Structure 1
Amino acid sequence: MADLQDEPHSVGVGAEDVPVTAPLRAGGSLDRAAALLAVHPVADGCNTLVWTLRQSPYHDIDTPDTGVDTDIPRLRAGGVGAQFWTLLVPPGPPRADSCAQAVCETLEQIDAALALMRRYSESLCLALTADDMVDARNRGRIASFLGPVPGSTLTGSLGALRAFHALGVRLLAPAGAPWADEGLTAFGHEVVKELNRLAMLIDLTGCSPAAACQLAAASKAPVIISNTGAASLTPHPDNATDEVLLALRAAGGLAMVTFDTERTGDSLHAVADHVEHVRALAGPEGVGLGAAFGAEPGSPRPAGLADPSGYPRLLAELLERGWSEADLALLTWGNAQRVLREAEFTARAAQYKATPG
């Protein structure tokens, strides 16, 4: 495990690793942020573009457009090197066949995401592992992870989970699933065990504090919250409480801070306050960024962070608050790398134990 813990402190570039303490070019904080992002780009934990494009299937994200807040030029301008594309869909009216509908919608989301990778293959690259994440970055592409998918699609059988994994999904969100809502059921423990075996991350976004803490304790691999704010700063039901942030720290997990005026305030300064609070409780290796871009115009965004091109401004703000380059490199890239690698390590250990001696 020691090599995994050390991994985020350097990221492979060509034949040699570049330490996060490598000197940045001279200039103001914005120049320094841009230089850091060139080596340690943002691994963003949440983007809803897949669902948005399903409503506008002919939209071209190769060119900037006011129709959505995410496109390839703005992702590149913001220094995004890896993206987790959420496959969750907005809630609709309840139906008698809600489980079957959830599975169908999820498969449609996966199909749309894979189509997105194929259509923009010069810029986006499907990623399945931490090594894929680095390889895509080194080839000038944005590593694209699929997930989370909703845990409500699993009802007493792990077959759907394994099928999602085979299709490339690497995250699952238990929120709203009957096996996790009121505490983990026996089947819920089996789901967690299988997620660990498959190296799929558990995304606690939307879980109650009690469920989140129980899932973090049950998983042998790190868990994440792909988009959140600090509930103690902004009391929003989707923000992580201090109890959950401390549980993440104990479990080696990762909380990724969102950019949403309702959850993290209406300014870049307010978002930075949330990032610092999460770091204070979850630890320097427990904080990341999950803006939840990808929506149509009208979604409330903090000033200066209206789209992915705003990432350098946030890093410049944190530099001016005294953040070290090493901590910023963990925030943008290293912490996401760590949880992926540790999930893979946990999976290999589980498979090794399952192999007859």
Structure 2
Amino acid sequence: MRGRFWIGLALAAASAPVAAQSVEARLDRFLATRPVIDGHNDLPWELREKYGASPERARLDGDTSRAAEPLQTDLPRLKRGGYAAQFWSVWIPAATTGPAAVETTIEQIDIVRRMVAAHPDRLTLATTAAEVETARRAGKIASLIGAEGGGQIDGNLSILRQYRALGVLYLTLTHTRNVGWADSGTDVPDTRGLTDFGRQVIAEMNRIGMIVDLSHTSPDTMRAAIAASKAPVMFSHSNAYAVNPHPRNVPDDVLALLKANGGVVMVNVYPVFVSAKVRAWQAEKAAAEARLTGSPAGLMLGAPKAEVEAKLAVWVAANPQPPVTAADVADHVEHIARIAGRDHVGLGGDYDGISGTGPEGMKGVDGWRLLFAELMRRGWSDADLARLAGGNILRVMRRVEAVAAR
């Protein structure tokens, strides 16, 4: 009996690395043949802020994680992650409004186009699902564009149309603030859905082949937009509210509506949206900052900024952020798949829009490998993983194009 015990222990120890190797080998085979299409990356704004809006200075063909101004994105990591396409977000701060919002958005579009022009052997612009497929066959990463915030059209449908002409494929209806015709999930409710103009925006997006993106919107606006849209919608970088009740995440009743609409939720890796423990920790950190500053808003009032930051660093050292792993991200994927179906979940990392770092081992754009490996261990087939990786968003793109063509 004792001999059998030790033999069993030895076999278990030997099988663990073999199992890890088999997952890694399967992962390499999978990524060699299945495209990864990520719905949201904020690299353009990081290039603007850290590199003077110069894609050339950023040296994206090297390891940007080790740069003096580190990034979460570079071409080698995109290749390792198996990317066929990336939606680059032409985000601007929600506080930028009016004509300045339009001007800043155009500047962001220009950064994307210059970034692609600087790497013609690795990147190419794309505006359709067919162009994504063509880019993949050519061994290039298709660069798609999404605008993150309805305020960027400055209440003008002609500006919306011109963004589409410049290659913008989706518009996120709000960012962190309401826009007058749609509510943000992180602002005080105002329209509680969509105004008449908001429904006009949806109708015009359907007509010109622009995807309606509902990340950042309130649940009421999500429901109203799904009801108004004749084409599938997307959530370019959102998670499941039932797993982590953060206002940026999607409630179950909306997930059920999404299934009928044909849309997709693209899961992100921002720790505060992934983990309820991190969300609680951030609230405690904000309270500690408020105590240090004497300001309920934590605005560094009443004390020198450097002094407050030093004291806050001491607090963080004593109260570190709870760990987040690929398993936590997989919990969101599986919940969305249970409620909406495996045809309605995708990937939208929010890389280079994440303050701090992403989940353990997922701190850059090649991090999806860990999520795929986790889901493989949970029994996901290659066919299901292929839909998650890019098949579902390609289907949404084709359907949006078909609605516009009608």
Q: State the alpha-carbon separation in 1 of the partners of residues 356 and 36 from structure 2.
A: 22
Q: Report the AA paired with residue 269 of structure 1.
A: A
Closer, same or farther in 2 for the Cα pair 1:295/1:161, shift >3 Å?
closer
Q: Do structure 1's residue 347 and structure 2's residue 341 form an aligned pair? A: no
1:73 to 73, 76, 96: 76
Q: State the alpha-carbon separation in 1 of the partners of residues 353 and 173 from structure 2.
A: 23
Q: Do structure 1's residue 245 and structure 2's residue 239 form an aligned pair? A: no
- How far off is 1:184 after superposition? 1.8
Contact 2:238 2:266 in 1 (8 A): yes
Secondary structure of 1:247 counterpart: helix
Per the alignment, residue 352 of structure 1 pairs with none
Per the alignment, residue 130 of structure 2 pairs with 131
Q: State the alpha-carbon separation in 2 of the partners of residues 113 and 223 from structure 1.
A: 24
Q: Report the AA paired with residue 170 of structure 1.
A: L
Secondary structure of 1:262 counterpart: helix
- How far off is 1:188 after superposition? 1.6
What is the correspondence of 1:269-308 to structure 2 with a 5 Å cutoff? 269-295=327-353, 299-308=356-365
Structure possessing the higher radius of gyration over alpha carbons: 2
RMSD: 1.6
Per the alignment, residue 112 of structure 1 pairs with 111
Secondary structure of 1:28 counterpart: helix
Per the alignment, residue 145 of structure 1 pairs with 144
More helix by share: 2
- How far off is 1:204 after superposition? 0.3
Secondary structure of 2:207 counterpart: helix
Secondary structure of 1:170 counterpart: strand
Per the alignment, residue 317 of structure 2 pairs with none
Q: State the alpha-carbon separation in 2 of the partners of residues 44 and 205 from structure 1.
A: 14
Q: State the alpha-carbon separation in 2 of the partners of residues 157 and 48 from structure 1.
A: 24
Q: State the alpha-carbon separation in 1 of the partners of residues 100 and 356 from structure 2.
A: 27
Gaps of 5+ in 2: 1-19, 184-190, 276-323
- How far off is 1:89 after superposition? 1.9
Show CA shifts across 1:203-256 (max 9, x none).
101000010111011111100000011111112111111122112112111000
- How far off is 1:27 after superposition? 6.0
- How far off is 1:282 after superposition? 1.8
Per the alignment, residue 169 of structure 1 pairs with 168
Sequence identity of aligned pairs in percent?
41
Gaps of 5+ in 1: 1-25, 350-357
2:216 to 206, 210, 226: 206
Per the alignment, residue 386 of structure 2 pairs with 329
Q: State the alpha-carbon separation in 2 of the partners of residues 189 and 260 from structure 1.
A: 30
Per the alignment, residue 28 of structure 1 pairs with 22
Q: Report the AA paired with residue 319 of structure 1.
A: M
Q: State the alpha-carbon separation in 2 of the partners of residues 247 and 304 from structure 1.
A: 33
Contact 2:147 2:172 in 1 (8 A): yes
Per the alignment, residue 196 of structure 1 pairs with 206
Q: Relative contact order (alpha carbons < 8 A, sep ≥ 6): 1 or 2 greater? A: 1
Per the alignment, residue 92 of structure 2 pairs with 89
Per the alignment, residue 40 of structure 2 pairs with 46
Q: State the alpha-carbon separation in 1 of the partners of residues 37 and 152 from structure 2.
A: 27
Contact 1:80 1:308 in 2 (8 A): no
Q: State the alpha-carbon separation in 2 of the partners of residues 243 and 301 from structure 1.
A: 28
Q: Report the AA paired with residue 195 of structure 1.
A: M
Q: State the alpha-carbon separation in 2 of the partners of residues 280 and 34 from structure 1.
A: 27
Show CA shifts across 1:67-101 (max 9, x none).
10100000100111110001112344x7xxx2112
Per the alignment, residue 16 of structure 2 pairs with none
Per the alignment, residue 220 of structure 1 pairs with 230
Q: State the alpha-carbon separation in 2 of the partners of residues 313 and 267 from structure 1.
A: 9
